[in-house]
């Protein structure tokens, strides 16, 4: 009896192993799965909220790319408005500021800017032949759309705007803004009655602080040193040693599209990050860890977020960007295909508001680009933030060696505002667990909780509360077949800093 049972078991096991081997011939890395990983966030793609001091040395650091501003004529006590949101004149007849009265900055240098209106045109002078009327009709910023903001020394919110013809803007009347006001150097009147004086409101809650703002804020002379210092100090080989000694077996490394153009990426991005990524692979290998290369910032921006390196918060990635984005993936796959540490390439982080058909075309082409160079690396597809996470499941079933990435934060939505400790934990145990289970299907892609954190909206929580919350998450997310990755390894805020959490005994797994 016993012998017979044993034999059956052996047969079954042999059959199981050989069939596994057959279907997943390309994927011999499975002993690392499910991954226990951490995101090296704010390293090769910077995010100001994780380390605000990076921005400290920028002149006029409240006026970064994408910052939204409003201008009120002190004489008329009315706001500047791009009539119809753009494609029309600029007037000064609005008593309250809304979207049409709000302008997004494109920074040329510390005092010179383009103003982008809500329908995406730029404010400029009507024509080059002496016309001084202000309009918002150009789709690209040329010299005629470039203005200098001159701030009052005593009150930096009182400004004048110098137009490209060298003269200042004035509210000639409520329905006419012209660039024909001369301010003599000896006259420094900032009276309310002066038609060239405006009160500038910076919408501080709109300020973007990403890699674009950082590098363009410092400008070409300073950005290179700032970035190199940051790359060299933020993550070092010691960190890989620490991660590996503490039981983590992989890192997810966000990268930006410009890394493929190294060493001379388009401005304002700074060259040199590719060598840093090379180092990460070397260190990972030395300390027995795997690397996920995550294309986090995609040309054109796939979500308008600062972490996509968006210039001004508009999402512009779409069909026309597919070839360039595939080329970036092709470059990364070719470079790291033969590294023992490469476990996966993620095609695009957190698409939001992109056309689903374009996303699928891109995922198909990106998958093919990876497979050109490696049959063993997994290909990760991030599920679009603005859709049901199951939307790509049928599509993803058509590939082998594919992973679906979902991000789970008990934040960024009002539903978490009033949840207490237990309700947060229950949400993980119930809602997250069942969603993850529904995504994890036997003939479908592997599943990955590629971002999550121990932070939440509960205020005044105790250490024990945090421990319970992170442990509940680890327990559920460990059921993801590809594993999980904490956001992030390092950051000024403790609960976004896995190193701190581990050192202070907030985190066990």
Ligand X SMILES: *[C@@H]1O[C@H](CO)[C@@H](O)[C@H](O)[C@H]1NC(C)=O
Residues numbered 381-440 forming contacts with ligand X, rule: CB under 6 A: none
- Minimal distance, residue 175 CB to ligand X, in Å: 4
Q: Does 172 bind ligand X (CB under 6 A)?
A: no
In terms of CB distance, is 147 or 362 closer to ligand X?
Answer: 147
CA gap 244, 260 in Å, rounded: 28
| Among positions 24, 112, 358, 376, the unique one binding ligand X when judged by CB under 6 A | 112
- Minimal distance, residue 440 CB to ligand X, in Å: 54
Residues numbered 487-506 forming contacts with ligand X, rule: CB under 6 A: none
In terms of CB distance, is 162 or 499 closer to ligand X?
Answer: 162
Q: Does 167 bind ligand X (CB under 6 A)?
A: no
Which residues are 151's β-sheet partners?
A: 159
In terms of CB distance, is 166 or 460 closer to ligand X?
Answer: 166
Q: Are 340 and 285 in contact (CB under 8 A)?
A: yes
507: closest CA among 91, 498, 39?
A: 498
In terms of CB distance, is 178 or 481 closer to ligand X?
Answer: 178
CA gap 386, 384 in Å, rounded: 6
In terms of CB distance, is 108 or 150 closer to ligand X?
Answer: 108
Instruction: Tell me the CA end-to-end span of the chain in Å, nearest whole number.
Output: 41
Q: Are 410 and 427 in contact (CB under 8 A)?
A: yes
CA–CA distance from 147 to each of 106, 200, 462 (Å)? 10, 14, 51
Region from 108-116, 322-330, 410-418, 491-499 binding ligand X, contact rule CB under 6 A: 108-116
257: closest CA among 330, 352, 359, 207?
A: 330
| Among positions 33, 80, 90, 91, the unique one binding ligand X when judged by CB under 6 A | 91
Q: Does 152 bind ligand X (CB under 6 A)?
A: no
- Minimal distance, residue 310 CB to ligand X, in Å: 23
Number of neighbouring beta carbons within 10 Å of residue 233: 8
Residue 135, classified by CB atoms within 10 Å of its CB into exposed (0-12), middle (13-18) or buried (19+), is: buried
Q: Does 279 bind ligand X (CB under 6 A)?
A: no
Q: Are 102 and 116 in contact (CB under 8 A)?
A: no
Cα 64 to chain centroid, rounded: 16
Backbone angles phi, psi at 93, to 5 degrees: -130, 25
What tokens does 191 get? 């009276």
In terms of CB distance, is 93 or 364 closer to ligand X?
Answer: 93
CA gap 450, 480 in Å, rounded: 10
Q: Does 355 bind ligand X (CB under 6 A)?
A: no
| Among positions 32, 49, 76, 108, the unique one binding ligand X when judged by CB under 6 A | 108
| Among positions 175, 415, 423, 462, the unique one binding ligand X when judged by CB under 6 A | 175
Residues touching ligand X, count (CB under 6 A): 10
Q: Could you tell me whether strands 88-94 and 122-125 are parallel, antiparallel, or unpaired per DSSP bridges?
A: unpaired
258: closest CA among 316, 305, 215?
A: 215
Helices assigned H by DSSP within 125-194: none
- Minimal distance, residue 220 CB to ligand X, in Å: 10
- Minimal distance, residue 299 CB to ligand X, in Å: 25
- Minimal distance, residue 95 CB to ligand X, in Å: 8
| Among positions 93, 157, 285, 364, the unique one binding ligand X when judged by CB under 6 A | 93
Region from 34-42, 89-97, 187-195, 374-382 binding ligand X, contact rule CB under 6 A: 89-97
Q: Does 356 bind ligand X (CB under 6 A)?
A: no
In terms of CB distance, is 84 or 320 closer to ligand X?
Answer: 84
Q: Does 60 bind ligand X (CB under 6 A)?
A: no
Which residues are 158's β-sheet partners?
A: 199
In terms of CB distance, is 42 or 114 closer to ligand X?
Answer: 114
Cα 100 to chain centroid, rounded: 26
Q: Could you tell me whether strands 250-256 and 290-297 are parallel, antiparallel, or unpaired per DSSP bridges?
A: parallel
In terms of CB distance, is 80 or 476 closer to ligand X?
Answer: 80
In terms of CB distance, is 147 or 212 closer to ligand X?
Answer: 147
Q: Is 28 helix (H, G, I), strand (E, B) or coil?
A: coil
- Minimal distance, residue 199 CB to ligand X, in Å: 19
Cα angle for residues 30, 401, 431 (degrees, 5° grid): 80
Q: Does 109 bind ligand X (CB under 6 A)?
A: yes
- Minimal distance, residue 91 CB to ligand X, in Å: 4
Residue 325 DSSP class: H
| Among positions 111, 137, 352, 440, the unique one binding ligand X when judged by CB under 6 A | 111
In terms of CB distance, is 93 or 244 closer to ligand X?
Answer: 93
Q: Which residues contact 304 (CB under 8 A, 6 or more apart)?
A: 310, 313, 314, 315, 352, 353
| Among positions 49, 76, 83, 337, the unique one binding ligand X when judged by CB under 6 A | 83
In terms of CB distance, is 214 or 292 closer to ligand X?
Answer: 214
CA gap 403, 396 in Å, rounded: 8
In terms of CB distance, is 110 or 368 closer to ligand X?
Answer: 110
Q: Does 136 bind ligand X (CB under 6 A)?
A: no
Q: Does 142 bind ligand X (CB under 6 A)?
A: no
Q: Does 125 bind ligand X (CB under 6 A)?
A: no
298: closest CA among 264, 360, 254?
A: 254
Residue ranges that bind ligand X, judged by CB under 6 A? 83, 91, 93-94, 108-112, 175
């Amino acid at each position: 009896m016993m012998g017979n049972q044993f034999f059956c078991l052996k047969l079954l096991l042999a059959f199981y192993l050989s069939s596994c081997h057959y279907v997943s011939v390309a994927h011999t890395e499975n002993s690392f799965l499910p991954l226990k990983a951490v995101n090296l966030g704010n390293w090769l793609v910077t995010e100001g909220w994780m380390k605000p001091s990076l921005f400290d040395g920028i002149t006029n650091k409240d006026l970064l790319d994408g910052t939204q501003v409003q201008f009120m004529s002190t004489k008329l006590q009315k706001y500047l408005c791009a009539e119809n949101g753009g494609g029309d004149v600029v007037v000064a007849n609005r008593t309250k500021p809304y979207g049409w009265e709000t302008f997004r900055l494109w920074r040329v240098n510390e005092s010179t800017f383009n103003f982008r209106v809500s329908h995406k045109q730029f404010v400029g002078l009507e024509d080059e032949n002496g016309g001084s009327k202000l309009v918002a009709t150009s789709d690209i910023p040329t010299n005629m759309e470039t203005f200098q903001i001159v701030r009052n020394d005593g009150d930096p919110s009182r400004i004048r705007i110098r137009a490209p013809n060298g003269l200042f803007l004035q509210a000639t009347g409520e329905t006419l803004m012209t660039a024909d006001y001369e301010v003599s150097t000896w006259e420094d009147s900032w009276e309310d009655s002066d038609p060239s004086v405006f009160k500038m409101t910076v919408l501080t809650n709109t300020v973007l602080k990403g890699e674009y703002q950082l590098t363009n804020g410092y400008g070409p002379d300073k950005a290179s040193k700032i970035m190199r210092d940051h790359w060299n100090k933020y993550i070092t080989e010691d960190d890989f040693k620490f991660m590996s000694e503490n039981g983590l077996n992989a890192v997810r490394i966000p990268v930006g599209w410009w890394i493929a153009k190294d060493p001379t990426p388009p401005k304002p991005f700074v060259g040199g990050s590719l060598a840093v990524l090379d180092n990460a692979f070397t260190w990972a290998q030395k300390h027995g860890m795997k690397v996920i290369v995550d294309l986090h910032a995609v040309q054109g921006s796939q979500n308008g977020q600062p972490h996509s390196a968006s210039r001004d918060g508009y999402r512009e990635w779409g069909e026309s960007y597919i070839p360039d984005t595939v080329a970036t993936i092709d470059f990364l796959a070719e470079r790291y295909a033969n590294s023992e540490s490469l476990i996966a390439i993620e095609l695009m982080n957190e698409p939001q508001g992109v056309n689903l058909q374009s996303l699928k075309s891109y995922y198909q082409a990106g998958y093919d680009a990876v497979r050109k160079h490696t049959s063993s690396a997994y290909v990760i597809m991030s599920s679009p933030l603005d859709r049901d996470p199951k939307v790509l499941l049928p599509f993803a079933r058509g590939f082998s060696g594919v992973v679906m990435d979902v991000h789970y934060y008990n934040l960024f939505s009002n539903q978490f505002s009033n949840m207490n400790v237990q309700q947060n934990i229950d949400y993980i145990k119930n809602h997250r667990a069942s969603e993850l289970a529904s995504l994890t299907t036997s003939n479908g892609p592997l599943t990955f909780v590629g971002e999550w954190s121990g932070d939440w909206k509960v205020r005044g929580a105790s250490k024990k509360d945090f421990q319970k919350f992170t442990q509940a998450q680890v327990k559920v997310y460990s059921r993801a077949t590809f594993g999980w990755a904490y956001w992030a390894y390092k950051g000024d805020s403790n609960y976004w800093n896995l190193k701190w959490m581990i050192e202070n005994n907030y985190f066990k797994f």
